[in-house]
Structure 1
Amino acid sequence: MSQTVLITGGTGVIGRRLTQLLRQQNYQVSILSRSAKSIPGVTVYQWDVTKGRMDPEAVLTADHIVHLVGEGIADKRWTDTRKDEILSSRTQSSDLLAQTLASQTHHVKSFIGSSAIGYYGGDTGDRPLTETSEGGSDFMAQVVRAWERSEDQVAALGIRTVKFRTGVVLTMDGGALPKLVQPIRLGAGAPLGSGQQYVSWIHIDDLCQLFIQALTDESWQGVYNAVAPTPVTNETMTRAIAQVLHRPLILPNIPTFAIKLMFGELAIVVTGGNYVLNKRIAEETSFQYQYADLRRALEDLLK
């Protein structure tokens, strides 16, 4: 009998691709959504995180939960209101899931939580970071720390919990890559800031396959850095995109001060960088990346 995976944030970019891949592998998929809009082949349950309400049937029918929900980090400028939305969307949703699991008789075997490499801080230079490295102290690090603490409530219920600190997810359906590709296609591409800041990236399909492997392999537990084995600089990534698109890079780097003027505090997402290593995945699991090499990942996404 096929197992059921409940996804929060199932209508987002990662959630949609994960749903496709799960269904290809004969899983049943259900999602928690704010709207009751039907999705072919998927069972949709409603919840309202701000009001602390969810359909308890969602948990009662689930064998596994993948928790992806959260307001986009780079969608809008970081006003105080936006910061509150970014934090609360992550912690309140985890709180609600934990409360519902605690109050129901269920058969949930695993909880796969989303997290982010922002845990280490927005700009950590070229210092290699592993799962045991210290956390940062800036806004993003504070958000991720609170996010992971809220997910720990599920682990406290005795449910096997995995938390993936996800890097920059490469997909043409959203996130950073389309924003990098567009100016390069138009002949106006250039590295951002110094260009030497590291990008710890992962192809969306590798990320989804990590989620799927962690669902059923009971040896997976705790925190993993969900990044490809080879971090690259912003300049290297920009040049690789240009090569795959057969476009020249003729402009000087876009200066850091201009990026800060445009984006305010949010600029750290672009001008900062992290050299994050997938130490636990490489040393403790049998996971095989389909796209360990940046050039191969870009050729797949930009073909």
Structure 2
Amino acid sequence: MAWCNTRRRWWATAALAVLILLAATGLWLRMGAIEVRVHETSLQALPATADTTEFTVLTYNVQARPWFDETQEKFRRMSPLLNRFDICAFQECFKDHHRLWEAAEHPVKIYHATLKHPFEITNSGLSILGKFPLVKADGMHFRDEGDFQNRPACKGVLLARFDVHGMPLDVYTTHIAAGKKADSRRAKYAQGDDIIRYVREQSPPDHSVILLGDFNMRPSRGPEDKEQNKDNPKVAGFDRIASSLELRDASDEINGPTGTEIDRILFRPGTGYALRPLSWQHDDPAFYTPGGKPLSDHEPVFVKFHLSKS
């Protein structure tokens, strides 16, 4: 009898151990990874080196929330439009990223599919496409998530390091916390500091840098505006990112310091290189349905850059 009880306990313990192992494996698998697709053959036709080049960059919050947004028709329209741009960065692509990629001919496709912890609802929604050889893909999650509306997603930063004809270019896209509540106001500063620290860790001085995305913040517009918003993280937080990383604003370079859009493209040249914007545009009739409805609640922003050895 004692032997039978011991055997039952052994089987019960073994069954419990298996269940725990399966649960742990499931949670680990749910954490995900950065998805990277590279079509090497398409990249072989590119010149290995050049002293100067021009390329176009798009940033676009595509409004694809997990349950609320239709993506099948919208992404069918968006996807072929992406071929106009050499580098594309997306935010709020929480679902159907393969549908968004479907008609895009970029040889490099990256999706930030990782979770901060296994009980998060969805990932960061960040993605980058590129027409240049990929050297590195990396990402991180913000430590401070902000208020409740931001917590279902693991917001953070996605990095794609490209070899642009022998010139290193680090492209970072991000989506910073939204909202005016105290938790989100605090998070804007904290997430900005995470970005500053991450870019400093990842990008050596000789790498040119482009930081673009949905900042949910804007730059100050002159001394009076800066003073009025010195305690407003939506403005002061953005200025701190730009000044700490010595980044310039492509919109300001082309249009002067006038725009207050939250979707922005910042840049700085690496040591030994010159990087400057040639044109800036936001919105485009192509990103509307035939009935005149925008494909997203954000406008696309695109910039043409000139990169050269100095």
The alignment's TM-score, normalised by the length of structure 2, stands at 0.35
- Of Structure 1 and Structure 2, the greater helix share is in 1
Q: Which protein has the larger Cα radius of gyration, Structure 1 or Structure 2?
A: 2
- Of Structure 1 and Structure 2, the greater strand share is in 2
